[in-house]
Structures are given as C-alpha cells and as structure tokens.
C-alpha cells in the first residue's frame, strides 16, 4: 500500500483501522471502497479501534460515513473505539451521537386500518374540494352576472387576451386531433360495417359519434389542458406573490377582476372550437370514406346532411358553454386554493386539469341523458 496519499488502512490483522491525514470529500470514494471491502474482516472482530492519531482535518460528510460504519459494526456486536480524535472530530462525533439519540419519527406501518383511514381521508378531501368548488362557482356566477349587467366594469382587454390564448391558440391542435379521430373512427366503423355490406351507413355513425359526443368532449379536454391549467398557474402564482391579497384589501372584487374575464372568454370561444372540431371530425370521415370505402364525397355529404339535424350542432355548442364554465371555474378555484410556494402551484395546475376533465365528463353524462329525451328520433 502506498503511503501518504492513503486515506485509511487496516492494521493488526484487521482489529485496527488507521486513518490518514485527512477525511475529506476528495477521498470519500476511496474511504467508501475501503470499508466496503474491509467490513467483512472488521465484522469478525470483537473489538475494533479507529485510530485518528495522524488525522488533522475531518469533514462532515466522510466522517458521517465512518460513523455510520461504526454504528453498523456495533449493531452486530463489534465494539468500536474512536481513538486520538482531533478536536473537530470530537465535536462531530458528539453531534452525531446526539442526532442518533433522538428517536426517529416512525412512519406508519402498513395496516388494514391505515388503508381504510387513507380512503376515508381522500374521500373527505374530495368532498371538501366539491364543497369549495360549489361555493366558488356560486361567487363567480354572481360576479359574472353582475359584470354583464354593467359591461363597463368588465376588463374587456383581458377577455380579448384570454380569447386569443384559449381560443385561437387551440385551433390547430383541436382541428388536427379531431380530424385524426374522425379518420380513425371512420376506418374502424367502415371495417366493421363492410363485413355485412353496410358501409353506406358509415357517415351516419361518424356524424353521431363526432357531433354528439367526441368533438365537444375533445375540445373541452384540450381547453381544460391548455387554459384550465394556465388559469390555475396564473392565479396560483399571483396568490403566492400576495397579489391576490393586495387586490382584496384594495377593495377590488377578486372574482370580477380575475375570474370573470377568463370565464367570459372561454364561454365565447368554446362553441366555435366545438364547431371547428365537428367540421374537422367530419372531414376526417369524408376522406377515409373516399380512400377506404370508395365513397364519393358527395354521397358522404348528402348522407351527413340527411341524418344530422340542426339541433345536433346547437346542442353541442350549448353544452360546450357548460364545459367552458366548468373549466374556468375549476382552473380558477385550484389557483385560488394555493397556499405557500412553487410546489403548490404545480399541484394546483395538475388538479385543475384532472378535476376539470373529470367534471366535464360527469356533466357530459348528465347532458347526454337529457339529450336523448330532447332529440327527435333518428332518420334512416
């Protein structure tokens, strides 16, 4: 073994560990390697001496490592004696002993009871969120209605801004996605209908699927992902920076100031996004019809015209307004709930999207039931 540069070595047939001049982060790696290989030998002894007589400086991290080794040895019944410690080493050792003397907080062990408690706890949290959201929606509705009664108080500049952000910005992705979905659905429907020579009905199914259900939903999901999260992040950050408190103590209606413009903007753009999604989806169906089923575009269009009623479009646009209200409310609510720091903002953004989509689909289910009662019977 080389001398001088060696941070540690074994002596006296493995009953003595002699440390070099310094325990520093530079030689921590070599110390660790040494103990990895020497632990076996050391653990067979009844007593081990750690000799620090030539040690001049001891840094915290490598010393902690050595301390940890000595504790492991003591746990398996080996007596370890730290000998000739320099002053700073003694202080460190004493401190480590104090730290380990403090009983660690025991994490809750796995148990049936624990699981039941966890389920109950998350149920309670969900209930609290639902209650808070309900109250919040009430206040935003009030603020928005009163703003509409006095249009001069609305910050129209901000409404325009959010319309651009949440509406115009979402056009490409919604168009592409719905076109793709229309194509895929058209292909799959055509594939199945072909097997009993009923592919002439492909336009019917595509129309119903896209216009009734998929287009409004995809538009809502994308807006929830783009705008709902943005709202939560924006308000959450303002909350962290005390800007929301500042608005409140200035006597400014926080709901009218922060929530109403976002809500109005989404309510304005969502119907158009839904209409766009309808068109893109049908276009996808039309193209796949021509390519896969050899269906002329004129036939596809005539069939779509025949089976779809104006109410199908109106209904989709109407429910998209409901989705807009839900998304804006959930996004802003999650932002307002932020307490503390950056991590909370991240969490708020996540739950804005997840809760937003969940609520949208929940609302969709209820609206679908109503729709089946409202819509005139199918034409075949």
Partner 1 sequence: MDDGKLIRVENLRGGYGDDLVLDDVSLSVKVGEIMVIVGRSGCGKSTLMRYLIGLARPWSGRVVFSGQDLWADPSVLDRARKRWGVLFQSGALLASFNLMENVSLPLVELTRMSQEEMELVARRKLEVVGLAHAAEDYPLSVSGGMQKRAALARAMALDPEVLFFDEPSSGLDPITSHSLDLLIKRINRELGTTMVIVTHELPSVFAISDRVVMLDGEAKGVIAEGTAAQLRDLSTDPRVKSFFNPEKSEQEEQ
Q: Between residues 246 and 366, which has the closer beta carbon with respect to partner 1?
A: 246
Complex with partner 1: residue 251 or 377, whichever CB lies closer: 251
d(CA 296, CA 172): 27
From residue 228, how far is each of 223, 256, 324, 356 by CA, in Å? Answer: 7, 17, 9, 7
Nearer to partner 1, 151 or 172 (CB): 151
Tell me how far apart the terminal alpha carbons of the chain are, to the nearest angstrom: 93
Smallest distance, partner 1 to C-beta of residue 326, A: 25
For residues 109 and 149, which CB has a smaller minimum distance to partner 1 in the complex? Answer: 149
Residues 311 and 374 sit within 8 Å (Cβ to Cβ): yes
Site string for partner 1, 220-259 (x = CB under 8 A): ------------------x--xxx-xxxxxxxxx---x--
Tell me the per-residue interface mask from 254 to 283 with partner 1, x by CB under 8 A, - otherwise.
---x--------------------------
Residue 24 burial (CB < 10 Å; 0-12/13-18/19+)? Answer: middle
Neighbours of 298 (CB within 10 A): 8
Does 176 interact with partner 1 (rule: CB under 8 A)? Answer: no
How many of the chain's residues bind partner 1 (CB under 8 A)? 14
Shortest distance in whole angstroms from residue 153 CB to partner 1 = 8
For the bound state, the minimum distance from the C-beta of residue 264 to partner 1, rounded and expressed in Å, comes to: 17
In whole angstroms, the minimum distance from the beta carbon of 256 to partner 1 comes to: 8
Q: Which residues contact 195 (CB under 8 A, 6 or more apart)?
A: none
Closer residue to partner 1 (CB): 115 or 252:
252
152 by Cβ neighbours in 10 Å (0-12 / 13-18 / 19+) ranks as: exposed
Count of alpha carbons within 13 Å of 302, Cβ hemisphere only? 6
What 8-state DSSP symbol labels residue 150?
S
3-state secondary structure of 18: strand
Judged by CB, which is closer to partner 1: 97, or 245? Answer: 245
3 state SS of 263: helix
Shortest distance, CB of residue 298 to partner 1, whole angstroms?
51
Give me the least distance between CB of 192 and partner 1, in Å please.
52
Q: Which is nearer to partner 1, 71 or 131 (CB)?
A: 131
Q: Report the alpha-carbon distance of residue 116 to residue 104 in Å, rounded.
A: 25
At its nearest, how many Å lie between partner 1 and the CB of residue 237? 8
DSSP H or E stretch at residue 214: none
Which residue's CB is nearer to partner 1, number 184 or number 246? 246
Footprint of partner 1 on this chain (CB under 8 A)? 238, 241-243, 245-253, 257
């Amino acid at each position: 073994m080389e001398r001088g540069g060696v941070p540690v070595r074994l002596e006296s047939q493995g009953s003595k560990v002699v440390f070099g001049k310094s325990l520093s982060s530079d030689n921590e790696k070599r110390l660790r390697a040494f103990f990895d290989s020497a632990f076996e030998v050391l653990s067979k002894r009844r007593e081990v001496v750690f000799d620090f007589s030539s040690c001049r400086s001891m840094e915290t991290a490598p010393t902690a490592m050595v301390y940890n080794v000595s504790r492991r040895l003591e746990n398996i019944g080996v007596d370890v004696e730290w000998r000739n410690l320099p002053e700073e080493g003694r202080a460190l050792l004493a401190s480590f002993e104090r730290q380990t003397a403090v009983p660690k907080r025991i994490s809750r062990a796995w148990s049936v009871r624990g699981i039941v408690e966890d389920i109950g706890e998350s149920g309670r949290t969900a209930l609290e969120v639902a209650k808070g959201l309900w109250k919040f929606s009430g206040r935003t509705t009030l603020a928005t209605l009163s703003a509409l009664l006095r249009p001069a108080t609305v910050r129209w500049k901000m409404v325009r801004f959010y319309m651009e952000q949440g509406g115009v910005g979402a056009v490409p992705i919604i168009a592409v996605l719905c076109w793709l979905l229309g194509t895929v659905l058209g292909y799959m429907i055509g594939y199945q209908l072909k097997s009993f020579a009923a592919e002439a009905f492909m336009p019917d199914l595509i129309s119903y699927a896209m216009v009734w259900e998929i287009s409004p939903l995809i538009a809502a999901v994308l807006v929830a992902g783009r705008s709902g999260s943005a709202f939560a992040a924006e308000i959450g950050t303002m909350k962290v920076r005390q800007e929301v408190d500042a608005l409140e103590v200035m006597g400014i209606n926080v709901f009218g100031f922060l929530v109403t413009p976002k809500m109005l903007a989404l309510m304005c753009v969502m119907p158009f996004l839904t209409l766009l999604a309808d068109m893109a989806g049908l276009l996808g169906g039309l193209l796949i019809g021509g390519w896969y089923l050899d269906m002329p575009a004129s036939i596809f269009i005539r069939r779509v015209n025949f089976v779809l009623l104006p109410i199908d479009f109106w209904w989709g646009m109407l429910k998209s307004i409901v989705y807009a209200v839900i998304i804006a409310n959930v996004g802003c609510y999650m932002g307002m709930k932020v307490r503390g720091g950056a991590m909370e903002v991240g969490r708020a953004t996540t739950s804005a999207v997840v809760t937003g989509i969940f609520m949208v689909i929940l609302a969709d289910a209820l609206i679908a039931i109503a729709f089946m009662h409202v819509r005139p019977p199918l034409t075949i």
